[in-house]
């Protein structure tokens, strides 16, 4: 039996409230003065909380494996990240802010420059001269205005970075993977003819027809633009992931400023909420207004990762200190269980996600406590939780909130 | 998805170089003065390195399971030792120095003393009076000179310890397991008739015929010797193990003085090299001459295990000190990632392999470091790696050498 099935069987609803704070890319390795940002930061409130909490490290996927944001998050939500995968097309759609449902096929697309020769469309530039994000936005809005649906299938589009965009076909019923068996249209080399999105299976025919008509109309609409055609690839359906709120019997809210995290949590069955602004303060405001109505709240703080990716030690440290300053306010809301962790490490000297274990703190009345002095990588290594799988976190949070019955008689 | 499949998908070739030093049977438990050999040894260079490295313990198979050399090594090379097994026949053949290919059937054999009675061969002594290793060698050479092939199948033989030897049948094409469905010929009790190697399946017939003819000729050749017949058992084909160098995209070299380790690493796809002599110095000489041409080098040091098996604390300690003295030279070769560990523990007071976790050290630019003072069992328990599976080691070495792409978007 899978862990998730065991939890589903054991979980009971009660009044306990859980707050899971994910500081994206939180983990780090020593760099400036031999310290990590968590070590160098002044965090009086986290220090105090650490002494009263269970600390440890978690490994989101497997030792040595660097998780993308998808697997990192699935893991901390209790899903085996090797079993449940979210395709890149889906994550990109979520990332640009498209809402993805089980009726949707997501497509990664980009603007290209083509030329008609003897009735054929020849690709001159696969990225339309690296079209700017601004030009992309204009073009995409223009197309969106003209094409709302084709053959009863709703079309949604949203521009991304530079020449990239996401397209979503919304059907009237649940889609399946076979419907995506369609040729990608990028010929991969310039000077070659655009490939037609032909179906490779019976079930894909209906999608193929929509795409052919869509491309004809797109070509008409942007014929005279710098990016005068669209290349399509990465057709994907949403993964079948058990509903978080249903499995764990948790009325769940996701508080996130970045569309990808909002989209991902919505996809797995959490409620989402609008955050006015992008600061930690803005998110705490939303938390304060909403916490009474939910059993479980996921609060995502993005900037630790962004500064990690930039290699910006001092600003990563400042985000941690800023979070620390809001901790008293968070504690005043009296969650029964508070968990603070990351979805993966993003060491500033590596400027990228990494495979390193991620600091983890669980505050509840039922901990050994007293093993760690601070919430840092090394102090977490001394903690009572040891180094566990990311997947273990949800079990522990449910257990600490007394939502899990005994297993077996 | 199996770990090995994930790694295969994520691994990318780059210029980083990895050195994996395996001190066979390294781990121990306290004995003389309450210390382990690693604790009692003077190891100034390892001490210094430990402070700059990630330390931990690894469990080759499962807690409580004592690994043989096969599973111990498969595990540290990243193979699930419960899935991939190397038969005893194969390991013994490798151990006596026979090279095993995918075209070979390996057979464990021993000299016996038989007597002809009413046309039957009756076993008088199943071990030919515990024939000496020296006598074994002479007899085996005699047979080898006379029998080179039978029905187009090449025959290789090599004497082992006392009355034991390995026989290898080399076919012209890949063999399969079904060909080994043949009766073992040892009647298990003295005074009983030798069993004929009859086939139990259609595919085994060809092998059975070769063996019958082989035994007839062997009997002729050694009729008047102390060991005057051969008993056959443990027919086995080489296991299908994914090629190490191909999966991990590593140009790999194995440096080992003992045939079994050389054979095992060759079997899984590493290059091997001749070492002139048996000392650590001889192996370091080979390392220095070859390291530039490889991405991954496995260096095997046998004597820690041999002295462990002998219960010889002081000599196990001296091998550790000798290795320590070569560490500066090893470090001067500037491998990007250096790993020092064992394939299992061989506590001197147990005089055998044991189930205890094995000390593990990884030196790379991407470690927390500073958690352990020395490379000893107890200091390794304080380390940042925690107690991990043997299988995790290769993932970590690939990760530390930046050879693994991110998993998932």
Query: B7: nearest CA in chain A?
Result: A65
pLDDT-derived band at B161 (thresholds 50, 70, 90) equals confident
> What mean pLDDT is predicted for residues B267-286?
95
- Contact pairs from chain A to chain B, CB under 8 Å: 87
Instruction: Show which of residues 292-351 on chain B sit within 8 Å of chain A, judged by CB atoms.
Output: none
For residue B171, give the nearest of B200, B201, B203 by alpha carbon. B203
> What mean pLDDT is predicted for residues A58-84?
96
Asked if A65 has any chain B CB less than 8 Å from its own CB, the reply is yes
Least confident segment among A57-61, A259-263, A286-290, B389-393: A259-263
Instruction: Show which of residues 185-204 on chain B sit within 8 Å of chain A, judged by CB atoms.
Output: none
State whether B371 and A378 contact (CB < 8 Å): yes
Report strand pairing: B18-23 vs A120-125: unpaired
Report strand pairing: B54-59 vs B386-389: parallel
Query: A36: nearest CA in chain B?
Result: B368
- For residue B271, the model assigns a pLDDT of 95
Domains annotated for chain B, with CATH where assigned, are 10-84+242-400 (3.40.720.10), 91-236 (no CATH)
Coil, helix or strand at residue B165: strand
The whole-angstrom separation of Cα A66 and Cα B359 is: 24
The whole-angstrom separation of Cα A301 and Cα A348 is: 17
Residues 6+ apart with CB under 8 A from B145: none
For chain A, the three-class secondary structure string (H helix, E strand, C coil) is CCHHHHHHHHECCCCCCEEEEEECCEECCCCHHHCCHHHHCCCHHHHHHHHCCEEEEEECCCCCCCECHHHHHHHHCCCCCCCCCCCHHHHHHHHHCCCCCCCEEEEEEEEEEEEEECCEEEEEECCCCCCCHHHHHHHHHHHHHHCCEECCEEEEEEECCCCEEEEEEECCCCCCHHHHCECCCCCCCCCCECCCCCECCHHHHHHHHHHHHHHHHHHHHHCCCCCCEEEEEEEECCCCCCCHHHHCCCCEEEECCCHHHHHHHHHCCCEECCCCCCCHHHHHHHHHHHHHHCCEEEEEECHHHHHHHHCCHHHHHHHHHHHHHHHHHHHHCCCCEEEEECCCECCCCCCCCECCCEEEEEECCCCCCCCCCCCCHHHHHCCCCEEEECCHHHHHHHHHCCCECCCCC
Q: Which residue has the higher pLDDT, B262 or B355?
A: B355
pLDDT per position as a tens digit, A226-253: 999 999 998 999 888 999 999 999 999 9
A-chain residues near B2 (CB < 8 A): none
Asked if B206 has any chain A CB less than 8 Å from its own CB, the reply is no
ipTM over 0.90: no
Which H or E run contains B335?
Answer: none
pLDDT exceeds cutoff 80 at B1 = no
pLDDT-derived band at B209 (thresholds 50, 70, 90) equals very high
Residues 6+ apart with CB under 8 A from A114: A121, A122, A123, A124, A194, A228, A229
Asked if B368 has any chain A CB less than 8 Å from its own CB, the reply is yes
State whether A66 and B3 contact (CB < 8 Å): no
Tell me which of A28, A37, A64 to substitute to probe the interface with B (most B C-beta atoms closer than 10 Å). Answer: A64
Asked if A355 has any chain B CB less than 8 Å from its own CB, the reply is yes
For residue B236, give the nearest of B155, B179, B174 by alpha carbon. B179
Asked if A234 has any chain B CB less than 8 Å from its own CB, the reply is no
Asked if A88 has any chain B CB less than 8 Å from its own CB, the reply is yes
pLDDT exceeds cutoff 90 at B259 = no
pLDDT-derived band at A88 (thresholds 50, 70, 90) equals confident
* Candidate from A64, A86, A356 with C-beta closest to B398: A64
* Candidate from A36, A62, A70 with C-beta closest to B3: A62
Beta bridge partners, B359, equal B57
Q: How far is A320 from chain B (nearest CA, A)?
A: 19
> What mean pLDDT is predicted for residues B276-294?
97
Asked if A61 has any chain B CB less than 8 Å from its own CB, the reply is yes
The whole-angstrom separation of Cα A61 and Cα A82 is: 7
pTM assigned to the model: 0.90
pLDDT per position as a tens digit, B341-382: 999 999 999 999 999 999 999 999 999 999 999 999 999 999
pLDDT per position as a tens digit, B243-257: 999 999 999 999 999
- Cβ-contact B167, B109 below 8 angstroms: yes
Beta bridge partners, B341, equal B22, B360
What secondary structure letter does DSSP report for B34?
G
pLDDT exceeds cutoff 90 at B181 = yes
B-chain residues near A62 (CB < 8 A): 3, 6, 392, 395
The whole-angstrom separation of Cα B42 and Cα B322 is: 10
pLDDT per position as a tens digit, A102-157: 999 999 999 999 999 998 999 999 999 889 999 999 999 999 999 999 999 999 99
Average pLDDT value for chain A:
96
Beta bridge partners, A164, equal A110
Asked if A150 has any chain B CB less than 8 Å from its own CB, the reply is no
């Amino acid at each position: 039996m899978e862990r998730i099935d065991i939890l589903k069987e054991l979980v009971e609803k009660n009044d306990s409230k859980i707050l899971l704070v994910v500081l994206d890319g939180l983990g780090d390795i020593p760099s400036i003065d031999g310290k990590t940002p968590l070590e160098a930061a002044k965090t009086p409130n986290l220090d105090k909380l650490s002494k009263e909490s269970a600390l440890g490290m978690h490994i989101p996927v497997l030792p040595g494996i660097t998780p993308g944001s998808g697997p990192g998050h699935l893991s901390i939500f209790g899903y085996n990240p090797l079993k449940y995968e979210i395709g890149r097309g889906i994550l990109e759609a979520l990332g640009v802010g498209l809402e993805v449902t089980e009726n949707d096929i997501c497509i990664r697309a980009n603007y290209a420059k083509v030329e008609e020769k003897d009735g054929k469309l020849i690709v001159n530039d696969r990225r339309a001269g690296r079209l700017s994000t601004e030009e992309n936005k204009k073009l995409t809005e223009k197309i969106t205005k003209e094409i709302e649906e084709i053959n009863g299938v709703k079309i949604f589009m949203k521009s991304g970075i530079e020449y990239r965009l996401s397209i979503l076909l919304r059907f009237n019923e649940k889609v399946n993977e076979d419907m995506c068996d369609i040729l990608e249209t990028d010929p991969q080399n310039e000077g070659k003819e655009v490939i037609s999105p032909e179906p490779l299976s019976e079930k894909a025919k209906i999608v193929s027809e929509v795409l052919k008509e869509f491309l004809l109309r797109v070509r008409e609409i942007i014929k005279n633009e710098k990016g005068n055609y669209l290349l399509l690839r990465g057709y994907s359906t949403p993964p079948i992931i058990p509903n978080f709120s249903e499995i764990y019997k948790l009325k769940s809210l996701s508080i996130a400023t970045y569309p990808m995290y909002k989209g991902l949590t919505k996809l797995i069955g959490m409620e989402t909420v609008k955050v006015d602004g992008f600061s930690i303060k803005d998110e705490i405001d939303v938390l304060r207004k909403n916490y009474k109505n939910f059993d479980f709240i996921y609060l995502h703080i993005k900037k630790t990762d962004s500064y990690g990716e930039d290699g910006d030690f001092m600003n990563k440290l400042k985000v941690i200190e800023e979070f620390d300053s809001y901790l008293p306010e968070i504690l005043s809301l009296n969650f029964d269980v508070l968990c603070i962790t990351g979805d993966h490490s993003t060491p500033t000297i590596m400027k990228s996600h990494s495979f390193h274990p991620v600091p983890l703190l669980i505050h509840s009345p039922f901990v050994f406590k007293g093993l760690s002095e601070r919430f840092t990588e090394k102090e977490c290594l001394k903690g009572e939780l040891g180094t566990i799988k990311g997947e273990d976190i949800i079990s522990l949070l449910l257990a600490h909130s007394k939502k899990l019955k005994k297993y077996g008689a």
